[in-house]
């Protein structure tokens, strides 16, 4: 079984000084073994399917055997592209057991974005139900019965490739080592008091519902921490539906629902909310975008079991996960605070007010880019502006990078601009974030035209290369030229400030 502990020591990671847990697991695959403590408990629920830990291990072993027969081996990259499902979870663990690298594609990508990701990752195999050359559908992953065999890996070997929107274009693959992923999970288990070594076999586990994607770091975190603590993970059957969320909370007696503010707001506004029994919910941690004090108050008032446990998580894919967390009165009494640094995380404010972090969860950089993410001293710049008070609480005050956070999804303004500039009628364009009551922010485009194109034509054009969530929903047909700085670069901040009230 993996070894866990709370003790922290100063060590060297990636050539930089860093805090690490003294006793810690050294690979991601070995975490699957922890579930053997509760072999017959249900672990995964989706629709009519209910799977125990023993059944999951058996399927993982068979799938690993099948993938090995298809030529997948240690260090090989495999694109995993799909929405939340039991099959996705099985494939994920099978790849870890083989020592392979799982590249977690965004299921909302357009076909052009999928093709770009395939070119970037160069996978030996793609597991997806999408039309990708050489892909294997999830339903065809099985293999012969086989014992579970964990291929040995080094702590700094790459385990995952997750995709970040970046600030300058298409999604970039972020390299995450076993050390990075495990340290992030370790932090969360210490935060919630659920280190496996400290849990008796009689520990009842927590029923958690996952409505965020598994291809997001938050989805990976929830699925693994639930497995490690003897809990049950409940998936929606299809796309997000506030009514299904309420039905599942009542039917499965969900205790923890980790989500994003947009989803939580939509559930609270469901006309039949009061008709469902939601008293089992005791915690609603939210991340992905800013959480207003009003939403925190509504959650506490609507979910009667939550009381003071409306949580806040702050993190960054490039830094490997959650950096700061807080809950209850600690957060509500500090408007704007997102939490305090987790045990092996160091936070600092750099010149210009940008938040920086140093942690063993930091990633190995971008795929195909030799430039390190961290600076010479191991600090990663987050792209967010903030401050740290005398008690160590972190406050996020703005963003220094041009990224739009729409319903928890990060969208690079430059990526959308590049797609629009390929339309023959577009002379110049600036894409900015505008406030949205439900989504937090929406994508807005200020466009200077040379021809007769209208919003419908530009939307259709953009949809040919962008994901649906990336296509602008607000338009300003600007008379031109767009405002620029002395070097000729368009000033998005000024475009946003001058946006017409009826635009």
| pLDDT (average), residues 178-183 | 96
d(CA 427, CA 486): 20
Q: What is the DSSP secondary-structure string of 281-327?
A: --B--B-SS---HHHHHHHHHHSTTTTT--EEEEEEGGGTEEEEEEE
- Take residue 180 and report the two structure tokens written for it: 């990075």
Asked if 143 contacts 136 with a C-beta cutoff of 8 angstroms, the reply is no
Predicted confidence (pLDDT) at residue 309 exceeds the cutoff of 60: no
Name the nearest CA neighbour of 100 among 145, 130, 132, 67. 67
> Phi/psi zone of residue 321: left (φ > 0), alpha (ψ -120 to 50 degrees), beta?
left
Verify cis geometry, omega within 30 degrees of 0, for the bond prior to 170: no
Helix, strand, coil percentages (3-state) for the chain, rounded to 5, are 30, 30, 40
Q: How many CB atoms lie within 10 A of CB 114?
A: 22
- Take residue 59 and report the two structure tokens written for it: 């399927």
List the alpha helices (DSSP H) in 303-394: 329-332
Predicted confidence (pLDDT) at residue 229 exceeds the cutoff of 70: yes
Long-range contacts of 114-122 (CB under 8 A, 24+ apart): 114/81, 116/170, 116/171, 117/79, 117/163, 117/171, 117/173, 118/79, 120/172, 120/173, 120/367, 120/368, 121/77, 121/79, 121/161, 121/173, 121/367, 122/77
What's the mean per-residue pLDDT of the chain?
90
Predicted pLDDT at 289: 57
The HSE-up count of residue 293 (CA atoms within 13 Å, CB side) is 9
Predicted pLDDT at 265: 85
| pLDDT (average), residues 125-145 | 90
pLDDT-based confidence at residue 24 (cuts at 50, 70, 90): very high
d(CA 171, CA 2): 34
Which residues are paired to 395 by β-bridges?
337, 387
Name the nearest CA neighbour of 163 among 114, 226, 231. 114
Least confident of 293-302, 350-359, 378-387: 293-302
Predicted confidence (pLDDT) at residue 10 exceeds the cutoff of 90: yes
Least confident of 122-131, 378-387, 445-454, 481-490: 481-490
- Extents of the domains making up the chain: 8-388, 403-497
Q: In sequence order, what are the residues at sequence separation of 6 or more whose Cβ sits closer than 8 angstroms to the Cβ of residue 321?
A: 180, 181, 183, 184, 187, 188, 217, 221, 315, 361
CA-CA distances (angstroms) from residue 493 to 424, 428, 435, 501?
26, 16, 14, 16
d(CA 31, CA 110): 33
**What DSSP designation does 469 have?**
G
d(CA 420, CA 325): 38
Predicted confidence (pLDDT) at residue 286 exceeds the cutoff of 70: yes
| pLDDT (average), residues 458-469 | 94
CATH number of the domain located at residue range(s) 403-497 in this protein? 3.30.300.30
- Take residue 380 and report the two structure tokens written for it: 């990663």
Predicted confidence (pLDDT) at residue 487 exceeds the cutoff of 60: no
Predicted confidence (pLDDT) at residue 170 exceeds the cutoff of 90: no
pLDDT-based confidence at residue 310 (cuts at 50, 70, 90): low
Strands (E), 100-259: 101-105, 125-128, 135-136, 158-164, 172-177, 207-210, 232-235, 256-258
CATH for 8-388 (3.20.20.150, 3.40.50.12780, 3.90.1150.10, 3.40.50.620): 3.40.50.12780
Predicted pLDDT at 452: 93
Q: What would the pLDDT profile of 400-457 be if each residue is shown by its tens digit?
A: 667 888 988 888 888 898 899 899 999 889 999 999 988 889 999 999 998 999 999 9
Predicted pLDDT at 166: 54
Predicted confidence (pLDDT) at residue 238 exceeds the cutoff of 90: no
**What DSSP designation does 102 have?**
E
pTM of the full predicted structure? 0.81
Distance, CA of 101 to chain centre: 17
Q: What would the pLDDT profile of 29-65 be if each residue is shown by its tens digit?
A: 999 999 999 999 999 999 999 999 999 999 999 999 9
Least confident of 19-28, 336-345, 427-436, 488-497: 488-497
Predicted confidence (pLDDT) at residue 486 exceeds the cutoff of 60: no
**What DSSP designation does 151 have?**
P
| pLDDT (average), residues 163-174 | 73
Asked if 63 contacts 143 with a C-beta cutoff of 8 angstroms, the reply is yes
Burial class (CB in 10 A: 0-12, 13-18, 19+), 497: exposed
Q: How many CB atoms lie within 10 A of CB 362?
A: 29
């Amino acid at each position: 079984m993996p070894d866990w502990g709370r003790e922290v020591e100063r060590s060297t990671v990636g050539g930089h000084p860093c805090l690490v847990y003294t006793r810690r697991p050294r690979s991601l695959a070995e975490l699957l073994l922890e579930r053997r403590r509760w072999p017959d408990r249900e672990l995964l629920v989706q629709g009519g399917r209910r799977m125990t830990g023993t059944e999951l291990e058996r399927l993982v072993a068979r799938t690993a055997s099948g993938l090995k027969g298809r030529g997948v081996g240690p260090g090989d990259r495999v694109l995993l592209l799909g929405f939340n499902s039991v099959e996705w979870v099985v494939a994920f663990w099978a790849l870890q057991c083989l020592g392979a690298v799982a590249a977690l594609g965004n299921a909302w990508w357009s076909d052009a974005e999928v093709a770009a990701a395939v070119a970037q990752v160069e996978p030996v195999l793609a597991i997806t139900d999408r039309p990708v050359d050489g892909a294997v559908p999830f339903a065809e992953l099985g293999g012969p019965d086989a014992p579970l065999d964990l291929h040995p890996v080094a702590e700094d070997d790459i385990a995952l490739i997750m995709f970040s929107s970046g600030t300058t274009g298409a999604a970039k693959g972020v390299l995450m080592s076993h050390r990075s992923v495990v340290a992030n999970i370790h932090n969360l288990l210490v935060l919630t008091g659920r280190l496996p070594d400290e849990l008796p076999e009689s520990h009842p586990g927590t029923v958690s519902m996952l409505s965020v994607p598994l291809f997001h770091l938050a989805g990976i975190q929830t699925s693994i921490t639930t497995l490690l603590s003897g809990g049950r993970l409940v998936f929606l059957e299809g796309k997000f539906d506030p009514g299904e969320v309420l039905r599942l909370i009542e039917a499965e007696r969900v205790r923890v629902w980790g989500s994003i503010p947009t989803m939580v707001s939509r559930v609270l506004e469901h006309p039949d909310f009061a008709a469902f029994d939601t008293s089992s919910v005791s915690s609603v941690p939210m991340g992905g975008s800013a959480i207003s004090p009003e939403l925190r108050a509504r959650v506490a008032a609507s979910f009667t079991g939550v009381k003071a446990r409306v949580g806040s998580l702050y993190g960054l894919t490039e830094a490997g996960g959650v950096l700061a967390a807080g809950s209850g009165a600690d957060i509500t009494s500090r408007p704007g605070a997102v939490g305090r640094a987790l045990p092996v995380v160091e936070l600092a404010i750099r010149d210009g007010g940008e938040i920086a972090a140093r942690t063993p969860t930091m990633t190995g950089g971008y795929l195909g880019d030799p430039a390190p993410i961290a600076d010479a001293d191991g600090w990663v710049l987050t792209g967010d502006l903030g401050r740290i008070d005398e008690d160590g609480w972190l406050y996020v005050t703005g963003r220094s990078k041009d990224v739009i956070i729409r319903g928890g999804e990060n969208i690079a303004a430059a990526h959308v601009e590049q797609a629009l500039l390929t339309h023959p009628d577009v002379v110049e364009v600036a894409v900015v974030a505008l406030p949205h009551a439900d989504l937090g922010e929406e994508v807005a485009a200020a466009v200077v035209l040379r021809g007769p194109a209208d919003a419908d034509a530009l939307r259709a054009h953009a949809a040919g290369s962008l994901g649906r969530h990336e296509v602008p929903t607000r338009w300003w047909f600007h008379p031109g030229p767009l405002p620029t700085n002395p070097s000729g670069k368009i000033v998005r901040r000024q475009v946003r400030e001058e946006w017409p009230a009826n635009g």
